[in-house]
């Protein structure tokens, strides 16, 4: 599967030095997101994608527009956009907009009736609703954008198709 990931300059250098780059729990930007990330890790493991206790690498299923505000932060070491070819069996695709239901720990409502009851669902139903993030057609049908993200266990050097550096501002 063709994917694009944005990595900071130091992570890119580690990849070049070691030949592989793994996710690192210390680099999860907002620690409050760890429960959502751990849920996603469990979903990957259930699908046979081994993470060995590490968080996944995040990527886009489309080439990112580096002019978009979310991608403008370049830090003191810059960033590198890596175009990758990852074996399909190592990738889990999810809807970017819908993922925010998991991040924000609430029911992923799709219909008006579900929206009205969104905060009344038992915990087990809230967590079960999150599985909808993996059905992009369903998400788009209920007005989530078609923007997809993908996660996978690691970047290996031979996955790299192309790289482009963006220096610090």
Q: What is the pLDDT of residues 128-160, one digit of tens each?
A: 999 999 998 888 787 667 789 999 999 999 999
Whether 71 has a pLDDT exceeding 60, the answer reads no
Average pLDDT, the chain: 90
pTM score: 0.89
| pLDDT tens digit sequence for 82-140 | 999 999 999 999 999 899 999 999 999 988 999 999 899 999 999 999 999 999 888 87
Q: What share of the chain is helix, strand, coil (3-state, %, to 5)?
A: 40, 25, 35
**How much is the pLDDT for 26?**
84
Confidence of residue 72 (pLDDT cuts 50, 70, 90): low
The residues spanned by each domain of the chain are 2-166
Q: Give the residue from 81, 87, 84 showing the smallest Cα distance to 64.
A: 81
**How much is the pLDDT for 70?**
56
Give the number of other CB atoms < 10 A from CB of residue 111. 9
**How much is the pLDDT for 67?**
75
**How much is the pLDDT for 73?**
61
Sign of CA dihedral 1, 86, 145, 81: negative
Non-local (6+) Cβ contacts of 93 within 8 A are: 61, 134, 136, 148, 149, 150
Confidence of residue 64 (pLDDT cuts 50, 70, 90): confident
């Amino acid at each position: 599967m063709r994917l694009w990931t944005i990595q900071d300059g130091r992570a890119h250098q580690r990849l070049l030095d070691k030949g592989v780059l793994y996710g690192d729990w210390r680099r999860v930007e907002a620690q409050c997101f760890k429960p959502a990330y751990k849920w996603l890790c469990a979903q990957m493991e259930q699908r046979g994608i081994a993470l060995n206790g590490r968080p996944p690498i995040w990527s886009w299923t489309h080439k990112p527009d580096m002019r978009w505000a979310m991608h403008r932060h370049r830090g003191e070491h810059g960033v590198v956009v890596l175009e990758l070819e990852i074996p399909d069996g190592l990738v889990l695709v999810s809807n970017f907009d819908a993922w925010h239901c998991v991040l924000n720990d609430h029911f992923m409502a799709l219909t008006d009736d579900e929206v009205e009851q969104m905060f009344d669902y038992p915990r087990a139903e809230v967590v079960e609703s999150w599985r909808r993030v993996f059905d992009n057609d369903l998400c788009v049908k209920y007005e989530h954008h078609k923007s997809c993200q993908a996660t996978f266990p690691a970047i290996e050097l031979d996955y790299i198709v192309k790289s482009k550096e963006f220096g610090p501002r």
